[in-house]
Structures are given as structure tokens and as C-alpha cells.
Amino acid sequence: MTEIAVVATFVAKPGNEDKLKEALQGIVAPTLKEPGALQYDLHRDIKEPRRFVFFERWLSEAALAQHNQTPHIQALGKTLPDLIEHGEISVVAKL
């Protein structure tokens, strides 16, 4: 199995920062319980407070795919469009 990483960036619509922060923080605990989750760190940009960045490490691409099907990620997927003006998810491999 080859480890995979994800950098996911979300920028809140003006005024939605607190709601977005709460929604993103809400998925950290259940995600860290997933067997393939090696690292799942949520950050906030120190210069742009509407910008949140996840850095994630997964045991395999299959573990990441399973993560994307979990109830907490499916639920987030439904609420995010109202909260964000920009979202970008990059799947990356460590060199």
C-alpha cells in the first residue's frame, strides 16, 4: 500500500468564517477514528482568516476513497456549497 496525502483548501464566503470553522472542526474527530487516517490537521491561514487548509495523510488511495464515502464527509459535502466561495482539493504523493 502506498501512502497518499491531501491538501484541501476552503475559503469562506464573507461572514461565514465561524460556521465554516465549526463545520470543518466537526469532521476532525470522526475522521481520526478511521483506520486509514495517518494525519488529519485543520489549519487557518494566519493572514487570511477566511481561509482554512487541511493537511491529510492516508494509508492508501483506497482509505481516502473510503473516507470520502463516510457519513460525516457526505454531510459536509451538502453544507459546504453554502459556506464557501472557493474550494480546492489536491491529492499528492510524497517524494
Point out which residues bind a copy of itself (CB under 8 A).
4-5, 7, 9, 21, 24-25, 41-48, 51-53, 55, 90-95
* Minimum gap (Å) between residue 68 Cβ and a copy of itself: 15
Let me know the angle formed at the C-alpha of 19 by 35 and 84, rounded to the nearest 5 degrees: 85
- Closest to a copy of itself by CB, 22 vs 82, is 22
- Closest to a copy of itself by CB, 71 vs 95, is 95
d(CA 72, CA 38): 18
d(CA 88, CA 33): 24
Q: For residue 44, give every residue at least 6 positions away whose Cβ sits within 8 Å of its Cβ, in sequence order, or none.
A: 21, 51, 52, 53
* Minimum gap (Å) between residue 7 Cβ and a copy of itself: 5
* Minimum gap (Å) between residue 23 Cβ and a copy of itself: 12
